[in-house]
């Protein structure tokens, strides 16, 4: 059995245990030995999946999991001010904004305890490691506390794992100089399951604090399966951030139950008010 198969089977067994399916079975028709079928069930939303054991329990302080996000290129100063004020009102973990707004947001949020997060190599991940490191240091000088970087997706898919590790490490090294948090965006919609596992492990080797599913700007966002797979790949101690297409409290609870320790969403206020958002991110 390959590492990929073992990881997928481990996730599958968690799903089976949750759905109450008998694990004492053999053959291709048994769900335990047919991870593709289980993946399809989960992806199609046939059941809300709640994992037990290794996965996190759904918290009562949901707001502290949320990175309140506004990464649209057309975002205005007024809109940035609003999400900063909302983050303070609802006590979100952070605001997540484009680099050009970091200094402004840091000044507005000074003394509030709300972290300022920004993105590096966003949204394509195709910048060189040197440019990503420089972008990181500038954001940190401007007042960023958290850096969400996009991996070099093409390099990963080309099997250039040393380059991907170096790419991540240049950012994490810069962030560690000032004690900032780093999250590594895999863009899972563009990767195979094996590539998701490899990328997660490379991020861990490069000493990132989190792995993250998505930018919110690609073909799809976070899924319960991907969060669970990433959690299995990095183990219990590293952060996992789910982002992209999370619009309801049920969405957030499912992601946290699958192993997410942070949620990136522009719908944070709607969620806290019990509403559903149509926002893509």
* Token pair in block for residue 248: 């309801």
Interatomic CA distance for residues 139 and 160, integer angstroms: 27
Task: Give yes or no: 148 in active site.
Answer: yes
Interatomic CA distance for residues 75 and 101, integer angstroms: 10
Catalytic residue among 67, 142, 148, 167: 148
Annotate 39-68 with b (16+ C-beta within 10 A) or e (fewer).
bebbeeeeeebbbeeebbeeeeebbebbbb
Name the helix (H) or strand (E) containing 263.
strand 262-265
Catalytic residue among 132, 196, 204, 212: 212
Residue 51 sits at the vertex; the CA angle it makes with 250 and 241, to the nearest 5 degrees, is: 60
Task: Give yes or no: 196 in active site.
Answer: no
* Token pair in block for residue 179: 């004690």
- Phi, psi angles (nearest 5°) of residue 94: -160, 170
CB atoms within 10 A of CB 30: 15
Is the Cβ–Cβ distance between 261 and 210 less than 8 Å? yes
Task: Give yes or no: 72 in active site.
Answer: no
Catalytic residue among 132, 183, 196, 241: 241
Instruction: Write out the catalytic residue numbers.
Output: 148, 212, 241
């Amino acid at each position: 059995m390959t590492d990929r198969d073992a990881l997928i089977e481990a996730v599958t067994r968690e799903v089976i245990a949750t759905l109450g399916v008998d694990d004492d079975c053999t053959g291709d028709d048994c769900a335990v030995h047919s991870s593709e079928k289980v993946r399809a069930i989960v992806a199609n939303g046939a059941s809300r999946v709640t994992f037990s054991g290794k996965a996190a329990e759904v918290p009562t302080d949901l707001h502290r999991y949320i990175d309140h996000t506004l990464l649209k290129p057309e975002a205005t100063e007024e809109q940035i001010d609003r999400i900063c004020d909302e983050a303070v009102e609802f006590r979100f973990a952070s605001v997540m904004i484009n680099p050009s707004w970091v200094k402004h947001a840091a000044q507005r949020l000074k003394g509030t305890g709300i972290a300022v997060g920004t993105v590096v190599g966003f949204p394509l991940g195709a910048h060189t490691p040197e440019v990503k490191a420089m972008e990181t240091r500038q954001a940190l000088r401007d007042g960023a506390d958290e850096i969400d970087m996009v991996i070099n997706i093409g390099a990963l898919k080309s099997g250039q794992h040393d380059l991907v590790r170096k790419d991540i490490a240049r950012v994490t090294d810069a962030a560690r100089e000032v004690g900032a948090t780093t999250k590594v965006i895999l863009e899972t919609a563009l990767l195979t399951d094996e590539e998701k596992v490899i990328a997660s492990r490379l991020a861990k080797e490069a000493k990132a604090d989190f792995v993250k599913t998505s930018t919110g700007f690609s073909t799809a966002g976070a899924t319960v399966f991907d969060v669970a797979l990433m959690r299995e790949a990095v183990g219990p101690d590293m952060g996992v951030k789910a982002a992209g297409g999370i619009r309801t409290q049920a969405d957030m609870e499912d992601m946290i139950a699958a192993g997410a320790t942070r949620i990136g969403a522009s719908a944070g206020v709607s969620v806290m008010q019990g509403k559903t958002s149509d926002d893509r991110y």
